[in-house]
Every structure is written in structure tokens, then in C-alpha cells.
Amino acid sequence: MLLKLKFFGLLAVLAALCWWDVTAEFYSSVHAMSKVFRYEQQMLQHMQKFIADNESKLDFLRARLDEFERERNQAEQSGVTYFESPLNKYLLSKRLTLDWEHIAHLMAAATGAKPLARLQRLRQREDMPNARELEGAIDGLLRLQYIYRLQTKHVAAGILDGVSYGTQLHAQHCLDIAQQAARDEHPQLAHAWLLEAKRRLLDKDRAQLLPVILEQLVKLKARLSDYRGMNNTLQMLRNIEPGTERHLDSWKELNQVEKQIEELTADPVDEHAPLPEDLTKLSDFELYRHTCNGHIRPTPSELRPLRCGYMTETHPFLLLAPMKVEELSHDPLLVLFHDVIYQSEIDTLMRLSKNKIHRATVTGHNSSVVSNARTSQFTFLPKTRHKVLRTIDQRVADMTDLHLEYAEDHQLANYGIGGHYAQHMDWFQPLAFETKQVSNPEMGNRIATVLFYLTDVEQGGATAFPVLKQLLRPKKYAAAFWYNLHASGVGDARTMHGACPIIVGSKWVLNRWIREFVQSDRRSCYQWDDSQVTLSQVLELTAKQVE
């Protein structure tokens, strides 16, 4: 039972319900989905009442039907003598007037109207999902499959990254996912889901679904240049739909490449492209993707200089209570602090954000926009809201040795089904300042980030740093810290990072973005532009000049 509850995020994909058109959004947040999950219990209760009311009505009608049939059979057996009795005349007249009128009214009555109206009102709530939620849930599932290179047959069997959750998808579910994968320009995944839909067909669904599946397979195989597979699929369609001319265009296309068919294998379509060997030719997204799935990782020689230990340098108080720190990169600096936030503080943050989170946005060309590159929900909390927020800021100052007076508001975020934030930099591009998208621009750019992990995540949800080859798996009570800018104030592209999709679990994080205003006494500039030349290059150049 527990495993099935953990898997309810995937079950949202199966919700083939026509939701009312409202503005809520739930697939991007497990917290929000948990809320509407409770509404379903109320909907089930209304449905039970509706069924009970209609069952009572049907029981009454069945009893009257048996009674009327007995009286009619008796009349037929008695013949004309039946009507000689005035009582029988009266009973027949009553049945044909009052009794049948009552039956007609009862059959026309909208039994269960009250529970039905309550159910409809519940579905029309502004905080109930709409049809877009189903698309978002399928997108999340496809994102998981694409980034983590999951096999379709495993996902359909309820196995996510090696863990079985005991939930099976049916043929119609697989077909729905295939159709959206095709719309989202994932033809190889769409092809795999169609084959899985065909494999999972039950006899009762075969007549209805098989032609649809085969027809879409023909189109995808043509798109993927699998002409031998296209030929075989068209032959299957001809067998189940003899005499049809609906696929003439496909036959014509096939005839044009008839000579190639003999040279091709039966099914050359792979679900996923081969793993890359040359990482230098990958796009930023592919670097992010392969860091998430573990293909990009640091070598032993790159890990060798990194250390773990206790930090006492940044504040005298740390001499009494040193902080546990794990080095992940020296240049640029990236460290992970352990056990730096308390459960009581997390509980306070959750209370402060209750019913306040909404869909996260990203910086667009001229404004902040909702994007599929970032599927999460968040809210901002000013430090004046509660003393716990100010306590956290003091701790961050001790951790980073930076001033927090001009840090942005606390951002609390929650990630849902396949929730992720694709590769990005936290520092603002010059265009963001020019188009006035940066709040309080006089505070400067984001010099550093502190990312608190408020929950453990069972599967997925790591923070990927592709250039640094680091993958930070969420660890409750820990916090990552890194500089976003070079000491010269120029944005450091090496800090590109992203939140990998959630496979199972709920991920809560707290972001502290620290601005560069009044930080010159804490992080001074070098005598050279470190965005152009590294310290090792400067030392090497100096040594050559001495020689």
C-alpha cells in the first residue's frame, strides 16, 4: 500500500477525466497534488450516495415490474373472465392511470441530483485540476524517461529506475502517452510507447485500439525511416481492415523507397540514442541531462584534492560550534554544509508558505514567464515575516562570511511529478537589468547562492553542475553554497546548474540569493580579471617573466 501511495504521482497520468477549465496547477508540485488528492475522497462519497439513491430507485422499479407482470400473467391465464370482477377492473384501471403515472414520474426523476450537484460543485472549484494537468503529468513522465534513460516496458510495469511500485499501465494509457510524446517531438519514445500499447492490448480492446495503434505506428516508422517495419505494419493493417483505402498515401510513400527495404533491419528504432563519447560536443541541455543520469561524473584524480572537515574561520562563534563542510569544487567554490537547519525551522517555513505557493517562472526576454524548463511551485517570504527567517540569515552569514542585509527574500520551492529546473545560471544577464526585470537593481547581481535541502528525496531530484561534474543528491538539513560571479563581478558560466527531475518523492528547498552590494570587504577583487585569466595562469606567467 505504501509503495502505491508513493506512486500516486504516476497515477495522475492515468486520470482520464475531463476536468473543468480552471487556472490551478498541480502537476508541478507534490504538495498541491496532495491537497486535491484529499478532494477525491469527498467526490467518492458523493458518488457512493448517488449510486445508493439510484439503487433504491431501481430496487423499487424492479419490485413494481415483478408485481405488474404477475398480475398481467394472471389476467392472461384467466382470459375474459378476469374482467368480470369489478375489483380486477379497478386494479387494471389504477395501474394504467395512477400507478403507471407514478412509475413514469419516478423513471424521469433525476435521482441522486443532490450528490451529483455537490460533486459538480467540487469539480468546479478553482483549486481543482484541469485538462492541462493531465498533459503536464504525461510531460513529467516523459521527462523522467528521457533524462534518466528509462525503458518503456519498465515504466509501463510500474518500475522506475529499478524500483517496482506495483502499478501497471493499460494499453489505452500507453497510447495516450505515445500520442503526447509524438506531439512533443519525441518520436523514438512515441514509437516505444505504441509498441508497448500493442503488447498490452486485451482481447476486449483489440478491435477498437489495434487499428489506431497500427495507424500511428505507420506514421512514426515512416518518420524514423524504418521502412521495413512500416511495410510489416501496413500488412497488419490490411489484414484487419481489408478493402480500405485509408492508407494509400503510406503505400505510395513506401513504394518510393521499395529498393531500400531489403537493406534495412526489421526494427532499427531504439528508445534512446547511444551515450555520447565526446562530451565537448554536447549542448548545455545534454550536459545537464547526462549529469543527472550519472554519465558525467568526476574522475578520481579530480576528486583527490577535495576534503571534508569542520569550518571555524568565518565567525568566532564557530569555534564553539564548527560547521561540517564538504568540498565539491575549489574553482569556482562549491561546498556542501551538513546539518545547518533544524526541523523546527522547516516546520515554521511550511506554515508560513501554506496556501501561498504558485507556479515558478523564469526570466524571459522582457518579463518573467512560465516555462516548461522550470516545473515547480514557489513563494517568497521576506525576512521581516518571522524571526526564524532572520535566524537563518544570520546562520547563512556565518557560513558564507557575506553580508545578508541586501539578500533577496527567502524563496521556498516545491517540485512535483518530474519536477525539474533545467540548466541555468543564478546570476542575471545584462539584458535582465536593461529590461528592468531585476528587482532592486541597485543591489547589484547575485554574488552567491545558498540552497537549503528541506527534505530527502527517494529517487531523483539531485542538483547537477555539469561543468563541475558534480551531482548533489538532496540531503535533509544540508545546504549547498557557491559563488555565481567571478571576483571581478562577471558572471561565472561554470556555475551552470539545474534541478534534475523528481522520480519519486517530494522535494522542498529554500533559496538564499545574496547580492553583491556592500560585499567588497568580504570578497575583494584581484589585480587581474579572473573571468579572463585563472590564478594558475597568472602564476605561470609570473614565473616565466622571472626567468
Higher pLDDT, 241 or 47: 47
Residue 394 Cα distances to 320, 383, 391, 484, 500, angstroms:
16, 11, 5, 20, 29
| Residue 250 pLDDT > 70 | no
Q: How many CB atoms lie within 10 A of CB 531?
A: 15
Contact 291, 423 (CB under 8 A): no
pLDDT at 17: 28
Choose among 511, 499, 506: nearest CA to 143.
499
3-state DSSP of 296-349 = CCCCHHHHCCCCEEEECCCCHHHHCCCEEEEEEECCCCEEEEECCCCHHHHHHH
Q: Would you place residue 536 in the very low, low, confident or very high pLDDT band (cuts 50, 70, 90)? A: confident
First to last CA, the chain: 73
Please list the helix, strand and coil fractions of the chain in percent, rounded to the nearest 5, in that order. Answer: 50, 15, 35
Cα dihedral sign, 371-374-376-379:
negative
For residue 208, give every residue at least 6 positions away whose Cβ sits within 8 Å of its Cβ, in sequence order, or none.
Answer: none
pLDDT at 513: 97
Instruction: Determine the residue type at 402.
Output: L
Euclidean distance between CA atoms 227 and 254, whole angstroms = 7
Long-range contacts of 339-347 (CB under 8 A, 24+ apart): 339/477, 339/478, 340/395, 340/399, 340/452, 340/477, 340/478, 340/479, 341/392, 341/395, 341/452, 341/454, 341/477, 341/479, 341/510, 342/477, 343/477, 345/388, 345/391, 345/392, 346/454, 346/508
Euclidean distance between CA atoms 230 and 268, whole angstroms = 11
Q: Which range (37-46, 215-224, 307-316) has the least confidence?
A: 37-46
pLDDT at 509: 96
Contact 162, 43 (CB under 8 A): no
Q: What is the mean pLDDT of residues 387-410?
A: 95
Backbone φ/ψ region at 218: left (φ over 0), alpha (ψ -120 to 50), beta = alpha
| Residue 511 pLDDT > 70 | yes
DSSP letter, residue 223: H
Q: Would you place residue 2 in the very low, low, confident or very high pLDDT band (cuts 50, 70, 90)? A: very low
Residues in the chain: 547
Euclidean distance between CA atoms 258 and 224, whole angstroms = 16
pLDDT at 5: 41
DSSP letter, residue 428: P
Please name every residue paired with 507 in a beta bridge, in sequence order, or none if there are none.
Answer: 415
Omega before 211 within 30 of 0, i.e. cis: no
pLDDT at 336: 98
Q: Would you place residue 101 in the very low, low, confident or very high pLDDT band (cuts 50, 70, 90)? A: confident
The 10s digit of each residue's pLDDT in 346-393 is 999 999 998 788 765 555 555 555 455 445 688 999 999 999 999 999
DSSP letter, residue 485: B
Euclidean distance between CA atoms 305 and 544, whole angstroms = 26
pLDDT at 70: 86
pLDDT at 358: 74
Q: What is the mean pLDDT of residues 182-193?
A: 94
pLDDT at 445: 96
- DSSP state letters, 360-388: --EE-SSSEE--TTB--EEEEE-GGG-HH
The superfamily CATH assigns to domain 297-523 is q2cbj1_9rhob like domain (2.60.120.620)
pLDDT at 4: 44
Q: Which three cell numbers stand for residue 521?
A: 570587504
CATH 1.25.40.10 fits 131-255, yes or no: yes
| Residue 149 pLDDT > 50 | yes
Higher pLDDT, 312 or 3: 312
pLDDT at 94: 64
Contact 414, 507 (CB under 8 A): yes
pLDDT at 277: 87
Lookup result for grid cell 597568472: 538
pLDDT at 412: 95
pLDDT at 547: 62
Rg over alpha carbons for the chain, rounded to the nearest Å, is 32
Q: Would you place residue 425 in the very low, low, confident or very high pLDDT band (cuts 50, 70, 90)? A: very high
Strands 446-453 and 497-499: unpaired
By three-state DSSP, how is residue 107 classified?
A: helix
| Residue 152 pLDDT > 80 | yes
Euclidean distance between CA atoms 534 and 542, whole angstroms = 12
Q: Where are the beta strands (DSSP E) in 458-522?
A: 459-460, 463-465, 470-472, 479-483, 497-499, 502-504, 507-515
Lookup result for grid cell 562530451: 279
Q: What is the mean pLDDT of residues 456-478?
A: 96
pLDDT at 531: 85
Exposed e or buried b per residue across 171-206, where buried means at least 16 C-beta atoms within 10 angstroms of its C-beta: bbbbbbbbbbbbebebbbbbbbbbbbbbebbeeeee
Predicted TM-score (pTM) of this structure: 0.76
Contact 285, 147 (CB under 8 A): no
Please name every residue paired with 381 in a beta bridge, in sequence order, or none if there are none.
Answer: 410
Backbone φ/ψ region at 325: left (φ over 0), alpha (ψ -120 to 50), beta = beta
Residue ranges of domains in the chain = 30-124, 131-255, 297-523
Q: Would you place residue 244 in the very low, low, confident or very high pLDDT band (cuts 50, 70, 90)? A: low
- 305 burial (CB, 10 Å; 0-12 / 13-18 / 19+) is exposed
For residue 532, give every residue at least 6 positions away whose Cβ sits within 8 Å of its Cβ, in sequence order, or none.
Answer: none
pLDDT at 252: 61
Higher pLDDT, 319 or 244: 319
Mean pLDDT score across all residues of the chain: 83
Residue 179 Cα distances to 133, 139, 215, 221, angstroms:
16, 11, 12, 14
Q: What is the mean pLDDT of residues 313-336?
A: 91
pLDDT at 264: 52
